[in-house]
Amino acid sequence: MSDLQNIEQPSWGGVASTPAERNKVMRNTYWLLALSLLPTVLGAWLGVSTGITQKMGGGLGLVLFIGGAVGFMYAIEKTKHSSKGVLVLLAFTFFMGLMLSRLIAMVLGFKNGPDLIMTAFAGTAGVFAVMASLASVIKRDLSGMGKWLFVGALVLMVGGIVNVFVGSTAGMMALSVAAIGIFSAYMLYDLKQILDGGETNYISATLMLYMDLFNVFQSLLALLGIMGGDRD
């Protein structure tokens, strides 16, 4: 709990009007984002080592994922103005790691599986670095991107649900490429919102960036597994 207490408390609500306030939100967001990766790794490791998610394919896995994600996001929204929100967020990232473990286990089935995972991690980190740099130098207002990105994400979600039942490899590749593009753009949009003071709650800001990173990593890993997986 001492680590949680070290996070500087930003102003809640409204718009961060001063550079100092915006920088405080960004520092807290980056700190919590880095911390959130630990439960994700733990959840993924637990899922792979126990095989608990291997039986959750198809409709069952989809229902569990959507139900769990929606439930956690609702809880985060209700607790984001207190330290409980941090704990709920970390529990959510553990859940997301657990859900990711099925894909990771499949990729680890390849001879070059560990290399593919490291490549996906490096690629995701690279996308984040580029988008963070762009967000810091772009002066124009990007708020207009929000509605188009939301529509793109909604179409992507519908396509993903359909493909769960269709099981098309080509469809998975197309969805993965689209997801990388959409959530990379979302990453730029969310970072710009934080830097411009449009988001003053560091828990909400962390959740946004975490979902961007998660979706880029997952999609990149799936694409690498399809195109570069070595079974020999």
pLDDT level of residue 167 (50, 70, 90 thresholds): confident
| Residue 54 neighbours by CB distance under 10 Å | 14
d(CA 153, CA 42): 27
Determine, yes or no, domain membership for 2.
no
Determine, yes or no, domain membership for 1.
no
Over residues 121-164, the pLDDT tens digits come to 999 999 999 999 999 898 888 888 888 999 999 999 899 888 88
Total domains present in the chain: 1
Determine, yes or no, domain membership for 177.
yes
Taking every pair of Cα atoms in the chain, the longest distance, rounded to a whole number of angstroms, is 57
Mean pLDDT in residue range 95-112:
92
Q: Is the pLDDT of residue 199 over 90?
A: no
Mean pLDDT in residue range 10-31:
72
DSSP 24-76: HHHHHHHHHHHHHHHHHHHHHHHHHHH-TTTT--HHHHHHHHHHHHHHHHHHH
Count Cα neighbours of 64 within 13 Å in the Cβ-side half-sphere: 15
> Which domain does 96 fall in, by range?
13-228
Determine, yes or no, domain membership for 68.
yes
The number of helix segments (H) and strand segments (E) in the chain equals 8, 0
Determine, yes or no, domain membership for 100.
yes
Q: Is the pLDDT of residue 89 over 60?
A: yes
Q: Model-level pTM?
A: 0.87
Which has the minimum average pLDDT: 157-166, 187-196, 210-219?
157-166
d(CA 113, CA 10): 41
Question: For tokens 């992507």, what's the residue?
Answer: 156
Determine, yes or no, domain membership for 154.
yes
Average pLDDT, the chain: 87
CA dihedral 160, 62, 84, 1 (to 10 degrees): -90
| Residue 63 neighbours by CB distance under 10 Å | 11
